[in-house]
Amino acid sequence: MSEPISIAVAGYVMALNLAMRTGSGVSAEAQAVRRSACALVDSLEKSITLFGPKSIVISEIHDLAADCIDPAWDGEEATAIYPIVVERAINFIRALPNDVRLPQVAADPDGALSLDWISSRTRVFSVSVGSTNRLAYAWIDGTDRGHAVARFDGTAIPGLIMDGIRQVEDGGDVAFRTA
Amino acid sequence: MLLSGLPDSVGDDEDITRVLRSSSHFTASYVKASAFMPANDEATSVFRHGAEPREDLWRIARELFGPDARIYGAAVCKVRCIREQRLEVVADEPPPRHANIIGWPMNVDPEMQRAQQKELALVIASRSTLMRTNE
């Protein structure tokens, strides 16, 4: 959702204002606030330069994990999202090629993080990142549908998952099926 | 007949509603599969009500989760759509109108189980209508 992005942007703008301010406030506190704001702006800009839009998705993952840090975050039986799940999801995002549209993030009640590529109501590819190095994934593409599991070493996106994402994104001719 | 006045058996043509308690469970237009995924009890909690009357929909949701619970919206679909995925909808009162989607695939391999369940949840989500509380 756009809420975390807008909060991040608002925080950035506020920090930028503070950093750029050249007013007459010369107290030690004012200077300390300005220095901190400069450091924050610098850090944010470096992060966005290094990881581009991926840093925004990673920020969304952190925000969602914070929302789901306690069990029953859905008011029912949901499992908390553990740090190992967050770490694996972030590794997955970092491993994605830069020419692929980034996914939307959702929390699954079983404690997994869902990374969803939604091209239309009936064309969706979804990867569930849990606490192991095996990724559950499923897709619908019109009347075609399926599911499978692939191993993720933390650095390279499994080929079948990459094919599935591209299929849903491009509607291309890449054939992918369960092994 | 149940306390709510509804019949014990849930009909194919009935609407069921899944309350959306996470802002991550929908986009601007669509319901995501995560909204329908079962929790550890292997059931997805729903209630037997359609999109209208809208005031009743939100009132029932508040009764189910409490007056202070954050409710972002609801996903509404036909029971038939659930059963077409070889899942079942069974009444589970109290609270009034409460029901569960049960029969989710089970597998000794937890990741394969998650993948099987996700496929069904994708189909159900694609056939659901998103209702937002701020509409």
Q: Map residue B76 onto helix, strand or coil.
A: strand
Which of A68, A75, A138 is the closest to B65 by Cβ?
A: A75
> What residues contact A178, with CB distance under 8 A and at least 6 apart?
A146, A147, A148
Residues of B within an 8 Å Cβ radius of A: 21-25, 27, 29-30, 32-34, 37-41, 45, 65-66, 69, 109-112, 114-116, 118-119, 122-123, 125-126
- Which region among A48-57, B16-25, B72-81 has the lowest average model confidence (pLDDT)? A48-57
Set of chain A residues whose Cβ sits within 8 Å of the Cβ of B130:
none
Q: Do B24 and A128 lie within an 8 Å CB cutoff?
A: no
Q: According to the model, what pLDDT value does residue A179 have?
A: 33
Q: According to the model, what pLDDT value does residue A151 have?
A: 96
Q: Is A1 a residue whose pLDDT tops 50? A: no
The CB-based long-range contact list for B103-109 (8 Å cut-off, 24+ gap) reads B104/B38, B104/B42, B104/B43, B104/B44, B106/B42, B109/A149
Q: How far is B34 from chain A (nearest CA, A)?
A: 5
**pTM for the predicted model, two decimal places:** 0.81
Set of chain B residues whose Cβ sits within 8 Å of the Cβ of A147:
115-116, 118-119
pLDDT band at A16 (very low <50, low <70, confident <90, very high): low
Mutate to test the interface with A, among B122, B128, B129 (most CBs of A within 10 A): B122
Q: According to the model, what pLDDT value does residue B48 have?
A: 93
Set of chain A residues whose Cβ sits within 8 Å of the Cβ of B102:
none
Q: How far is A135 from chain B (nearest CA, A)?
A: 7
> What residues contact B59, with CB distance under 8 A and at least 6 apart?
none
Peptide bond into B95 cis (omega under 30): yes
For residues B110, B113, B115, B116, the Cα torsion angle rounded to the nearest 10 degrees is 180
Q: Do B123 and A130 lie within an 8 Å CB cutoff?
A: no
Q: Map residue A160 onto helix, strand or coil.
A: helix
Q: Which position has the higher pLDDT, A1 or A78? A: A78
Q: Which position has the higher pLDDT, B8 or A13? A: B8
Q: According to the model, what pLDDT value does residue B62 have?
A: 86
Q: According to the model, what pLDDT value does residue A10 have?
A: 58
User: Which letter does DSSP use for residue B10 in this model?
Assistant: P
**DSSP string of B89-109, one letter each residue:** EEE-PSSTTEEEEE-----SS
Angle, alpha carbons B24-B46-A80 (nearest 5°): 45
Q: Is A19 a residue whose pLDDT tops 80? A: no
Cβ–Cβ < 8 Å for A96, A52: no
Q: Which position has the higher pLDDT, A27 or A85? A: A85
pLDDT per residue as tens digits for the range A23-65: 455 677 767 776 776 666 656 555 555 568 899 999 999 999 9
> What residues contact A27, with CB distance under 8 A and at least 6 apart?
none
Question: ipTM, 2 decimals?
Answer: 0.91
Give the helix/strand (H/E) hosting A137: strand A134-141
Set of chain A residues whose Cβ sits within 8 Å of the Cβ of B111:
128, 130, 132, 134-136, 149
- Residue A177: C-alpha distances to residues A146, A161, B48 (Å): 7, 10, 36
Q: Which position has the higher pLDDT, B91 or B51? A: B91
- Residue B72: C-alpha distances to residues A136, B24, B25, B27, B129 (Å): 27, 10, 9, 11, 14
Please state, rounded to an integer, the average pLDDT across all residues of chain B.
92
How far is residue B107's CA from residue B119's CA, in Å, rounded to a whole number?
Answer: 14
- Per the structure block, which two tokens stand in for B90? 């069974």
Q: Which position has the higher pLDDT, B15 or A1? A: B15
